């Protein structure tokens, strides 16, 4: 797959986190984190099992063409998650994952809040879409804390499960 454009992105520092571009050194930690079936089954695009070639595909073909950041704890360089904005035709979709060991600390909410602000303030997006599988209420809680509102119910594909899964669709408009 050719990538026409390389999306440059800044380092973003938040109270507890540093968001930076994912790189080759992240491969082992990415495999550990998204190789976890409890992470992969909540995501659309993650094959299971997840191999080094899948992490390289992410680095070579996803990272250059999307506004995606590695989530690291401030002062540490180890990737513990990822958060990004994916162009989808006329719209832009927020997505994220976090290694299971770091769930429940408010990390994704903090990281996604910074990326949403980047999308509105720097990219000038009029609104951001997202969605989550109906059996993943923690992700719904993250989106609601960011101000997303439900627009409807649908299905989304899950590569690991090999089928479409019931989903809740969400939208956040740029603050006036």
Q: Which residues bind ligand COA (CB under 6 A)?
A: 39, 42-43, 96-98, 103-109, 132, 136-139, 141-142, 145
**108/172 with CB nearer ligand COA:** 108
Structure tokens belonging to residue 174: 């740029």
In the numeric block, the tokens 């099992």 are attached to 49
CA angle 91, 95, 100 (to 5 degrees): 175
| CB 8 to ligand COA: min, Å | 25
Question: What is d(CA 134, CA 153) in angstroms, rounded to the nearest whole number?
Answer: 9
Report the residue number, 10 or 137, with the smaller CB distance to ligand COA.
137
Please say which residue, 8 or 103, places its beta carbon nearer to ligand COA: 103
Q: CB of 140: closest distance to ligand COA in angstroms?
A: 7
The whole-angstrom separation of Cα 11 and Cα 70 is 10
59: DSSP letter: I
Within its chain, how far is the Cα of 91 from the centroid?
A: 15
Tokens of 72: 């690291």
Query: With respect to ligand COA, which residue has the nearer C-beta, 72 or 139?
Result: 139
Measured distance CA(175)–CA(54) in Å, rounded = 37
**Minimum CB–partner distance for residue 5 and ligand COA (Å):** 25
For residue 6, the minimal CB distance to ligand COA (Å) is: 25
Query: Which one, 5 or 118, has the nearer CB to ligand COA?
Result: 118
* Contact residues for 57 (Cβ-Cβ < 8 A; gap 6+): none
At closest approach, how far in Å is the CB of 121 from ligand COA?
21
């Amino acid at each position: 797959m050719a990538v026409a454009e390389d999306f440059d992105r800044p380092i973003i520092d938040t109270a507890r986190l540093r968001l930076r571009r994912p790189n080759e050194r992240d491969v082992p930690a990415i495999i550990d984190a998204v190789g976890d079936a409890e992470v992969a089954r909540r995501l659309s695009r993650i094959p299971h099992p997840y191999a080094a070639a899948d992490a390289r595909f992410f680095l070579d073909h996803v990272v250059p063409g999307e506004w995606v950041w590695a989530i690291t704890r401030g002062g540490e360089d180890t990737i513990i998650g990822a958060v990004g904005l994916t162009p989808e035709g006329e719209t832009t979709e927020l997505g994220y994952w976090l290694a299971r060991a770091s769930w429940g600390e408010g990390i994704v909410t903090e990281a996604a809040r910074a990326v949403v602000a980047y999308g509105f303030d720097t990219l000038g997006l009029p609104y951001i879409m997202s969605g989550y599988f109906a059996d993943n209420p923690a992700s719904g809680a993250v989106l609601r804390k960011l101000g997303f509102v439900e627009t409807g119910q649908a299905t989304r594909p899950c590569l690991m499960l090999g089928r479409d899964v019931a989903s809740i669709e969400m939208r956040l408009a740029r603050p006036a």
